[in-house]
Amino acid sequence: MGVFDRLGAEYEQIVFGHDPDAGLRTIIAVYSTARGPALGGTRMWAYPNEDDALADALRLGKAMAYKAACADLPLGGGKAVIIGDARRDKTDALMRAYGRQVERLGGRYITTADVGTTVKDLDVIAETTRYVTGTSGGSGDPSPVTAHGVWHGLRAVAETAFGDAALTGRHVVIQGVGKVGSGVARMLKQEGARLTIADIDAEAARALADEIGADVVGAAEALEVPCDVLCPCALGPVVTDKTIGSFKCAAIAGAANNQLEQPALARGLAEDGILYAPDYVINAGGLINVADELHGYDAARARRKAESIADTLREIFRSAESEGITPSEAADRLAESRIAAAG
């Protein structure tokens, strides 16, 4: 197999950037610019080897293209990784060297923060490239807009699963009450939902429960609590070979990335009668927020756009139903058709 096939022939451009003086080794994977510049974060991670770093950049870059297309943003998709330990290896010189690599792509790739990079890093990156969003002078923390989009998405989920978009009186279990999960919890509580929350940070869960009124369960139990909607807002996969079959909810819909350990598990959820909101569709509020910065940031406009996540989910659930496919497959098809139409 040739190197192009091995890397994934569907990618437009894969850049290996190197700056020995700054200790930079970066891979920028541009999946597509058919719909616009490829916007995606920079992940800094101590990958055990370069193959793992490349695989992560490719996987994440493609996911960004699908997320942007489903959110109907004028963006392609891409992602970058910097090989290194963010706590040990990060220096301003490295960030500037990385910014120069981004600048050389001439705007085909626009970066923002991801695991291992912060707003402060983006400010340093901005010294050497124009193609960066989410700096301290920009759109700021995307979590409130992500939470706003998830809450609207949950209304589309409730409408499809229960025939009524209102979440009043519905029992929602939120796994992970960090920046996004706590925001979703407050909105749901205001609407009159019954909440059960869980976090590996037991103190954070208890403090939020005391503030808004919610039951607390241990992190390990959260996935098996009988409820109307399970709302994953933590980290890591929720639906795995081990957990499938043990959910006692009518729907799974939340902010967490990569909720399915493998795509095929979506079929198992459908067979168990559980409505699954594809994670990259319902959690697109963060991307919508940084994308808005490209036109001069307007917080109200970003929030309004995040509300359209509900319409997208309705469309996805409808086509899944009519075509006899899972919502995940319907979301992938929607993204692929939009990318193909543009390209």
Query: Which residues contact ligand NAD (rule: CB under 6 A)?
Result: 142-143, 146, 175-181, 198-201, 204, 219, 233-235, 255-257, 283, 286
Measure the CA dihedral 251/312/66/319, to 10°.
70
CB closer to ligand NAD, 83 vs 256? 256
For ligand NAD, which is the closer residue by CB, 22 or 235? 235
Task: For residue 68, give both structure tokens.
Answer: 């942007």
Nearest to 160, CA basis, from 263, 6, 312: 312
Residue partners of 220: CB distance under 8 A and separation at least 6: none
Query: What whole-number distance in Å separates Cα of residue 117 and Cα of residue 99?
Result: 13
What CA–CA distance (Å, rounded) separates 76 from 109? Answer: 9
Q: Which is nearer to ligand NAD, 94 or 302 (CB)?
A: 302
- Among 143, 125, 119, 160, smallest CA distance to 251 is for 160
Q: Active-site residue 79, yes or no?
A: yes
Shortest CB 199 distance to ligand NAD, Å: 4
Whole-number minimum distance, CB 92 to ligand NAD, in Å? 25
CB 64 to ligand NAD: min, Å: 11
Residues 166 and 168: their CA atoms lie apart, in Å, by 5
Q: Which one from 62, 67, 79, 189 is the annotated catalytic residue?
A: 79
Q: Whole-number minimum distance, CB 146 to ligand NAD, in Å?
A: 3
Comparison of 219 and 342: residue with beta carbon closer to ligand NAD: 219
Looking at residue 22, its amino acid is A
Query: How far is 75 from 78, CA to CA, in rounded Å?
Result: 10
| Residues tagged active-site | 79
